[in-house]
């Protein structure tokens, strides 16, 4: 029998047809929508007088362009309000499920999909958002698409996609002290570079990956796009089934048993061939931080920024531009540098485990006076759990306050903008120039490093602190 990878099994089972010399016509099981990348797609449907082909496979939630304070009041910015209202109206007109502001199921689309059981192993999932790769953590083929493709899926439940190549990234061994899924992601991306997995769909494997919780796996798969990968995924196992069981839209009763039986057949067959294999040793991974303006510019938190002679010739202009933007010098350390903002949240690190981790560190300490901290749960469900577990009290005592769910300062479409020139220690996914606000200087880190920075007011090695 042909040996197949996890990716092949799911992809091949969803190919409706193959266009000669062209892409595959791929059937999509679950389509997520948010307010920013969908309005032009709905406008396209209206122009062509089309309905949504499979409304029951579509779930909408406004998340990018919403305030994280006073969500009970109308959105102040009329252009943002119009965009959110447009999603609500489109969902209503086309008969789609939508979780609007203050709905208990509202939140960042990549957080609410898994937590409500919409995302399941073996599915194909798309969304007009590159971090759709998050859902791959459940053993699904999930990837971001553009708005023209959103329109295609709405109109036909299919996309036309060339089948990507396959890469397996294995991390073997035990993760060290204060090393989280985020550090694994930043470490892998720093080795692969920001375009190193372009053209590939990545399966993460190995004992270190298996040891991650579901929330951790989502953090890792979320960032696979940051090395250019079409998506990232992890084979479903007991951790996956345990997470999914009992969630609202997960199969129940006999259907559950049958589903698990099928899902257990998904992992890559022994001896299946990947186009590329990369292996890392868990022992080499330390708490990480980025020093530049793309997520590939990461290093161990106690390391020195590279010097110009360590950068290849074609990349030197970009490297210098990047350090000049960050106002860092080649060869210097980041440890001890004062910071201005801390952001905990986003589809990368806005889940309950991230808040537990952050709270465990800050418990009994006080937020540093020079730090403004924005703590933004990924969804109302996460917020509810924070309160149920008493995490809100711990945070409050340490001088932190919670905001309301949304994408927030990850991309700063709303008012949550880091001011120009300020340093932000952020648990989000991108440190691009201006990503968190024009002129903002972002350093990507784990929730542990963010928490330690928030109470010390500077970049601190968490291994010295915890």
Of 238-267, binders to other proteins (CB under 8 A) are none
Element (H, E) at 32: strand 30-33
Q: Judged by CB under 8 A, which of 3, 40, 95, 329 binds other proteins?
A: 40
Report yes or no: 299 and 417 within 8 Å, Cβ to Cβ. Answer: no
Report yes or no: 321 and 404 within 8 Å, Cβ to Cβ. Answer: no
| Residue 173, C-beta contacts closer than 8 angstroms, at least 6 positions apart | 206, 207, 208, 281, 282, 283
Task: Pick the closer one to other proteins by CB: 325 or 465.
Answer: 325
Give the chain's length: 466
CA dihedral 150, 151, 156, 158 (to 10 degrees): -30
Report yes or no: 42 and 309 within 8 Å, Cβ to Cβ. Answer: no
156 lies in the site for other proteins, by CB under 8 A: yes
Residue position matching structure tokens 């969908």:
38
Q: What is the Cα 199 distance to its own chain's centre?
A: 19
430 lies in the site for other proteins, by CB under 8 A: yes
Residue position matching structure tokens 């084979």:
235
Stretch that binds other proteins, among 66-74, 111-119, 160-168, 353-361 (CB under 8 A): 160-168
147 lies in the site for other proteins, by CB under 8 A: yes
CA distances, 229 to each of 141, 164, 293, 296, 367 (Å): 12, 9, 18, 13, 37
198 lies in the site for other proteins, by CB under 8 A: yes
Task: Pick the closer one to other proteins by CB: 15 or 239.
Answer: 15
The β-bridge partners of 60 are: 33, 98
432 lies in the site for other proteins, by CB under 8 A: yes
310 lies in the site for other proteins, by CB under 8 A: no
**Separation of alpha carbons 175 and 209, rounded Å:** 9
Site string for other proteins, 446-465 (x = CB under 8 A): --------------------
Q: Judged by CB under 8 A, which of 141, 152, 418, 448 binds other proteins?
A: 152
Task: Pick the closer one to other proteins by CB: 176 or 419.
Answer: 419
145 lies in the site for other proteins, by CB under 8 A: yes
CA distances, 44 to each of 48, 155, 395 (Å): 6, 10, 46
**H helices, E strands: number in the chain:** 17, 18
Q: Kindly identify the residues of this chain, within the stretch 366-395, that bind other proteins according to CB under 8 A.
A: none
199 lies in the site for other proteins, by CB under 8 A: yes
Q: Judged by CB under 8 A, which of 8, 115, 129, 203 binds other proteins?
A: 129
Report yes or no: 409 and 389 within 8 Å, Cβ to Cβ. Answer: no
416 lies in the site for other proteins, by CB under 8 A: no
Q: Judged by CB under 8 A, which of 50, 300, 303, 368 binds other proteins?
A: 50
Q: Judged by CB under 8 A, which of 12, 100, 160, 306 binds other proteins?
A: 160
411 lies in the site for other proteins, by CB under 8 A: yes
- CB of 286: closest distance to other proteins in angstroms? 24
For strand 158-161 and strand 24-27, is the pairing parallel, antiparallel, or unpaired? antiparallel
**Separation of alpha carbons 191 and 53, rounded Å:** 42
Stretch that binds other proteins, among 11-19, 66-74, 343-351, 450-458 (CB under 8 A): 11-19
Q: Judged by CB under 8 A, which of 43, 239, 300, 368 binds other proteins?
A: 43
Report yes or no: 85 and 46 within 8 Å, Cβ to Cβ. Answer: no
Task: Pick the closer one to other proteins by CB: 22 or 364.
Answer: 22
Q: Kindly identify the residues of this chain, within the stretch 209-228, that bind other proteins according to CB under 8 A.
A: 225, 228
157 lies in the site for other proteins, by CB under 8 A: yes
Q: How many residues contact other proteins, by CB under 8 A? A: 71
Task: Pick the closer one to other proteins by CB: 290 or 460.
Answer: 290
44 lies in the site for other proteins, by CB under 8 A: yes
Q: Judged by CB under 8 A, which of 106, 240, 286, 294 binds other proteins?
A: 294
**Separation of alpha carbons 140 and 133, rounded Å:** 9
**Separation of alpha carbons 397 and 388, rounded Å:** 16
162 lies in the site for other proteins, by CB under 8 A: yes
């Amino acid at each position: 029998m042909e040996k197949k990878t996890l990716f092949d099994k799911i992809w091949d089972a969803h190919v409706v047809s193959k266009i000669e010399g062209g892409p595959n016509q791929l059937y999509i099981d679950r389509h997520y929508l948010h307010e920013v990348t969908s309005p032009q797609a709905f406008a396209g449907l209206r122009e062509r007088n089309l309905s949504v082909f499979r409304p029951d496979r579509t779930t909408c939630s406004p998340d990018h362009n919403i305030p994280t304070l006073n969500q009970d009041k109308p959105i102040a910015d009329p252009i943002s309000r119009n965009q959110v209202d447009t999603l609500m109206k489109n969902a209503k007109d086309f008969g789609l499920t939508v979780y609007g502001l203050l709905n208990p199921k509202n939140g960042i689309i990549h957080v609410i999909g898994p937590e409500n059981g919409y995302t399941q192993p073996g599915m194909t999932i798309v969304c007009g958002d590159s971090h759709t790769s998050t859902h791959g953590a459940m053993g699904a083929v999930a990837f971001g698409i553009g708005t023209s493709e959103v329109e295609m899926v709405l109109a036909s439940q299919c996309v036309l996609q060339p089948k990507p190549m396959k890469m397996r990234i294995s991390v073997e061994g035990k993760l060290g002290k204060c090393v989280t899924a985020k550090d694994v992601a930043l470490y892998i991306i720093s080795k692969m570079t920001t375009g190193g997995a372009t053209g590939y769909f990545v399966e993460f494997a190995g004992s270190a990956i298996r040891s991650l919780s579901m929330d951790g796996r989502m953090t890792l798969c979320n960032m696979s796009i940051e090395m250019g990968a079409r998506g990232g995924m992890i084979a479903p196992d007991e951790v996956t089934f345990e997470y999914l069981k009992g969630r609202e839209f997960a199969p129940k009763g006999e259907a559950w048993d049958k589903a698990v039986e099928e899902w257990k057949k998904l992992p890559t067959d022994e001896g299946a061939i990947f186009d590329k294999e990369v292996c890392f040793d868990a022992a080499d991974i330390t708490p990480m931080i980025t020093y530049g303006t793309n997520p590939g510019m990461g290093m161990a938190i106690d390391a020195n920024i590279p010097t110009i002679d360590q950068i290849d010739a074609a990349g030197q202009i970009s490297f210098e531009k990047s350090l000049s933007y960050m106002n860092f010098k080649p060869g210097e350390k980041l440890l001890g540098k004062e910071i201005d903002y801390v952001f905990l949240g986003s589809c990368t690190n806005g889940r309950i485990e991230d808040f537990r981790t952050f709270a465990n560190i800050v418990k009994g300490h006080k937020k540093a006076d020079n730090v403004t901290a924005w703590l933004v749960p990924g969804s109302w469900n996460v917020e509810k759990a924070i309160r149920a577990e008493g995490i809100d009290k711990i945070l409050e005592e340490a001088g932190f306050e919670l905001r309301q769910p949304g994408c927030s300062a990850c991309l700063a479409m709303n008012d949550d903008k880091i001011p120009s020139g300020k340093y932000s220690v952020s648990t989000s996914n991108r440190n691009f120039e201006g990503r968190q606000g024009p002129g903002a200087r972002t350093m990507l880190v784990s929730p542990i490093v963010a928490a330690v920075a928030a109470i010390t007011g500077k970049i601190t090695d968490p291994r010295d602190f915890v």
